[in-house]
Amino acid sequence: MESKAHEKDLNLKATELTLGLPGRDEIIELPNQNKKRGLPVDSKNEEGSTDAKNAQKETPPAKAQMVGWPPIRSYRKNSLQANKNAEGETATGIYVKVSMDGAPYLRKIDLKVYKCYPELLKALEVMFKFTIGQYSEREGYKGSEYAPTYKDKDGDWMLVGDVPWDMFMSSCKKLRIMKGSEARGLGCDV
């Protein structure tokens, strides 16, 4: 199944993953996994993401991380992670405001917590209790009346997922989950 240049981007294959059930020693693969090696990702960082989707190991013989094992709450894992970051670098987060059409409350999130689009979108779904449709380059988000958009450095509203993840991280200023026809309109703009 062919691949976009950037493995963190959305593609149908990524959202169609059938996950191994917890309890199996499966190595969970994402497409274009080999490309990830070029990035300075410490395999220890993976602890913070307890979702099995993101369990990856660099060397095949090592076991994949088991979901929920050892039984440490993610809050604690993430706090220790924050410690590690704080020691070496100035780890400032990338905080952006997130609004959703029709919702009374704004949220602020730290984009640095997420490593790819699926993670970010999943978090938004949970935070605002809605479902995002299936992404495709041609048609944007199908299957739901919501579409996640962001305002970039130039002040333009773009559909989340159109650009490679790293580019998104550095240019995203604000997120807005659009609803209805406005959302659909944006989807066709690509």
Partner 1 sequence: MSEDPSIPSSSSSQMSEDDDRSPPLDLIDGPIPSSKSRNCSGVSGSGVGTSVENTVPYPDQVLENVLENVLCFLTSRRDRSSASLVCKSWYRAEALTRSELFIGNCYAVSPRRATARFTRVRAVTIKGKPRFADFNLMPANWGAHLAPWVSSMAKAYPWLEKLCLKRMSVTDDDLALLAESFAGFKELVLVCCDGFGTSGLAVVVSKCRQLRVLDLTETEVMDDDVDWICCFPESQTFLESLMFDCVECHINFEALEKLVARSPSLKKLRLNRHVSIGQLYRLMVRAPQLTHLGTGSFNLSEGMAQGDQELDYVSAFAACKSLVCLSGFREILLDYIPAIYPVCSNLTSLNLSYANITAEQLKPVISQCHKLQSFWVLDSICDEGLKAVATTCKELRELRVFPVNAQEDAEGPVSEVGLEAISEGCRKLRSILYFCQRMTNAAVIAMSKNCSELVVFRLCIMGRRRPDHVTGEPMDEGFGAIVMNCKKLTRLAVSGLLTDRAFSYIGKYGKLVRTLSVAFAGDSDLGLKYVLEGCHKLQKLEIRDSPFGDTALCSGLHHYYNMRFLWMSSCSLTRQGCWAIARELPRLVVEVMKSNEGEEEGDNFDTLYMYRSLEGPRDDIPQFVEILRPGI
Nearer to partner 1, 77 or 184 (CB): 77
CB of 117 to partner 1, least distance (A): 15
Which spans of this chain sit near partner 1 (rule: CB under 8 A)? Answer: 18-19, 21-23, 44, 47, 50-52, 62-63, 65-77, 79-80, 82-83, 86, 90, 92, 95, 97, 104-109, 126-127, 129
Report DSSP letters for 91-140, one per residue. Answer: ----EEEEEETT-S--EEEEGGG--SHHHHHHHHHHHHT----EEETTTE
CB of 67 to partner 1, least distance (A): 6
State the Cα–Cα distance between residues 42 and 92, nearest whole angstrom.
18
CB of 13 to partner 1, least distance (A): 14
Q: Two tokens at 4? A: 């976009």
CB of 181 to partner 1, least distance (A): 27
Nearer to partner 1, 47 or 182 (CB): 47
DSSP letter assigned to residue 44: G
